[in-house]
Amino acid sequence: METTRKIDVRKLAVTAVMGAVAAVLMFISFSVPLMPSFIKLDLSELPALIASFALGPVSGVAVCFIKNLVNLPFTTTSCVGELCNFLLGAAFVLPAGLLYKKLNGRKGALIGSLVGAAAMAVLSLPINYFITYPFYAFFMPMEAILNLYQLINPAVENLFQALLWFNVPFTFIKGLLSVAITFLIYKKISPILKGNK
């Protein structure tokens, strides 16, 4: 009973720390080539993916929740941006953690994280189409938003095309970056996170 309690307290503490790291990474974002300037790249899903592997998928999702909760007072999206970020982050780390738990090992981690990155990319289409961009349209006309996409690709005719051609691949690549970094550092830090060192 005492051991279980210690493990649970440690798990909560490590999850909270990883959430704080993710929140910091969320603030460090930058524009990328071939994307409209308002779309920023950050690696805040990285600690969530690591937590999902080391501590379980629930911890990974909790990290996604914590980083958005911390970020909430500093944004002007009325919770909409944070909600969408949380949903996409959870779509990434939940299947990754579940598959890793079932197929424990490097192969399971790779399959899980690729499935998670694909799920996040696919879900970014309906989440952005039905939630994020309709909200942004209150502050910036949809024509102006589309113009930013059309400056890069004049063939873009509507929001669906813009999201399909730009946001979906961008989200998938963003996920793959977190996967690549996780594979580089996970073996070194997992014993510390799990309390084996």
d(CA 59, CA 46): 13
Please name the amino acid found at residue 197: K
The tokens for 156 are: 């873009």
Least confident of 6-10, 35-39, 57-61, 168-172: 6-10
In this predicted model, which residue has the larger pLDDT, 7 or 166? 166
pLDDT in tens, 94-138: 999 999 999 988 999 999 999 999 999 999 999 999 999 999 999
Asked if the model's pLDDT at residue 7 lies above 60, the reply is no
> Is the pTM of the predicted complex or chain greater than 0.85?
yes
Least confident of 56-60, 73-77, 126-130: 73-77
pLDDT in tens, 127-159: 999 999 999 999 899 999 999 999 999 999 999
Specify the pLDDT at position 197: 59
d(CA 78, CA 18): 24
Total residue length of the chain: 197
Asked if the model's pLDDT at residue 9 lies above 60, the reply is yes
* Mean pLDDT of the 14-42 span: 95
Query: Could you tell me where the DSSP H helices lie in the chain?
Result: 2-27, 45-55, 57-71, 80-102, 106-127, 133-136, 142-150, 159-162, 168-194
* Mean pLDDT of the 31-39 span: 92
pLDDT band at 54 (very low <50, low <70, confident <90, very high): very high
Please state, rounded to an integer, the average pLDDT across all residues of the chain.
93
Sign of CA dihedral 78, 45, 171, 111: negative
Backbone φ/ψ region at 11: left (φ over 0), alpha (ψ -120 to 50), beta: alpha
Specify the pLDDT at position 4: 52
Phi first, then psi: what are they for 66, rounded to 5°? -60, -45
Cα 174 to Cα 15, 36, 83: the distances in Å are: 22, 15, 18
pLDDT band at 5 (very low <50, low <70, confident <90, very high): low
